[in-house]
A and B are shown apart, each in its own frame.
Chain A
Amino acid sequence: MTITHVSDTARWVAAVAEKAASRSRADSSPRSRALAFMTLLSVTTACGDLLGPEPEVNPRMRGVWIEPPSYSGRIMYIHAYPADTAFRLQRGRRIPVEIRVSSGDRETAQLYRYFCPAREYGPVYGCFEFTVRMRDGFDAADLAGRVEATGGRLYLVWDYHTIGSGRWATITLFSPDDLVGRAHRARSWPGVDSTGLSWQMGSIDGQPPESWFRSLLRVPVPVDAEPAVRGDGVVQARRGDTVEVIYAQPFSTVGAVMDRAIIP
Chain B
Amino acid sequence: MIPARPWVVALTLLGALAPVALPAQVCGGFPSLVERGHRIAGSLAVHPNASSLAASLTVGRKVWGSIGVGRTRDGELDASTLDVSLEAGADLPIDGARRLFLCPIAALSAALGPHDFLLSGANYDTFTGALGFIVAPAVERPRAIAVLPYVGLRFALDEITFTPSAYARREGASGRGWDHDVYGLLSVGLGLTLGQTLTIRPELRVPLGQTASHRGRPLGGPYAFAAPLGREGDEASLGIIVGFTFGRRP
Q: Which residues of A contact B (CB under 8 A)?
A: 1, 6, 9-10, 13-14, 17-18, 20-21, 24-25, 28, 32-33, 36-37, 39-40, 43-44, 46-47, 50-51, 91, 116-123, 125, 130, 178, 180-181, 183-184, 194-197, 199, 203-206
Contact B77–A180 (Cβ < 8 Å): yes
Name the one of A51, A120, A181 contacting B46, with C-beta atoms under 8 angstroms.
Answer: A51
B13, B20, B220, B224 — which one has the most chain A CB atoms within 10 A of its CB? B224
Q: List 18 A-B contacts (CB under 8 A).
A: A10-B6, A10-B9, A13-B13, A24-B144, A25-B19, A25-B20, A36-B194, A43-B14, A117-B76, A117-B77, A119-B232, A121-B213, A121-B214, A122-B217, A180-B76, A184-B116, A196-B119, A197-B118
Contact (A184, B232) CB under 8 Å given A24-B145, A206-B217: no
A-side contacts of B119, CB under 8 Å: 130, 180, 183-184, 194-197
A-side contacts of B200, CB under 8 Å: 37, 40
Complex: how many Å from CA A9 to CA B3? 14
A91, A121, A194 — which one has the most chain B CB atoms within 10 A of its CB? A121
Complex: how many Å from CA A194 to CA B6? 45
Contact (A14, B17) CB under 8 Å given A51-B46, A205-B221: yes
Contact B78–A117 (Cβ < 8 Å): no
Query: With an 8 A cutoff between CB atoms, is B238 at the interface?
Result: yes
B-side contacts of A199, CB under 8 Å: 221
B-side contacts of A119, CB under 8 Å: 48-49, 225, 232
- State the Cβ distance, B114 to closest chain A Cβ, in Å: 11
B49-107 contacts to A, CB under 8 A, are 49, 75-79
B-side contacts of A39, CB under 8 Å: 14, 192
- State the Cβ distance, B194 to closest chain A Cβ, in Å: 6
Query: With an 8 A cutoff between CB atoms, is B233 at the interface?
Result: yes
Contact (A206, B19) CB under 8 Å given A10-B9, A28-B143, A33-B144: no
Smallest CB gap from A30: residue in B: B144
B-side contacts of A20, CB under 8 Å: 17-19
Contact B144–A122 (Cβ < 8 Å): no
- State the Cβ distance, B100 to closest chain A Cβ, in Å: 22
Query: With an 8 A cutoff between CB atoms, is B222 at the interface?
Result: yes
Complex: how many Å from CA A204 to CA B217? 10
B111-127 contacts to A, CB under 8 A, are 116, 118-120
Q: Which residues of B contact A (CB under 8 A)?
A: 1-3, 6-7, 9-11, 13-14, 17-20, 46, 48-49, 75-79, 116, 118-120, 143-145, 167, 192, 194, 200, 202, 213-214, 216-217, 220-222, 224-225, 232-233, 238, 240
B-side contacts of A206, CB under 8 Å: 216-217, 220-221
B-side contacts of A24, CB under 8 Å: 19, 143-145
Smallest CB gap from A28: residue in B: B144
Contact A33–B13 (Cβ < 8 Å): no
Contact A17–B18 (Cβ < 8 Å): yes
Complex: how many Å from CA A44 to CA B225? 27
- State the Cβ distance, B205 to closest chain A Cβ, in Å: 13
Complex: how many Å from CA A21 to CA B143? 13
Contact A50–B17 (Cβ < 8 Å): no
Name the one of B17, B79, B144, B225 contacting A17, with C-beta atoms under 8 angstroms.
Answer: B17
- State the Cβ distance, A113 to closest chain B Cβ, in Å: 11
Contact B2–A50 (Cβ < 8 Å): yes
- State the Cβ distance, A2 to closest chain B Cβ, in Å: 12
Contact A47–B46 (Cβ < 8 Å): yes
Contact B233–A121 (Cβ < 8 Å): yes
Contact (A118, B76) CB under 8 Å given A1-B3, A196-B119, A206-B220: yes
Complex: how many Å from CA A20 to CA B167? 58
A6, A28, A119 — which one has the most chain B CB atoms within 10 A of its CB? A119
- State the Cβ distance, A16 to closest chain B Cβ, in Å: 9
B-side contacts of A46, CB under 8 Å: 10
- State the Cβ distance, A89 to closest chain B Cβ, in Å: 13
Smallest CB gap from B44: residue in A: A44
B145, B200, B238 — which one has the most chain A CB atoms within 10 A of its CB? B145
A-side contacts of B217, CB under 8 Å: 122, 206
Contact A122–B13 (Cβ < 8 Å): no
Contact A50–B221 (Cβ < 8 Å): no
A-side contacts of B202, CB under 8 Å: 40, 43-44
B7, B17, B77 — which one has the most chain A CB atoms within 10 A of its CB? B17
- State the Cβ distance, A251 to closest chain B Cβ, in Å: 26
Contact (A21, B18) CB under 8 Å given A10-B6, A50-B7, A122-B213: yes
Complex: how many Å from CA A244 to CA B100? 69
- State the Cβ distance, B42 to closest chain A Cβ, in Å: 14
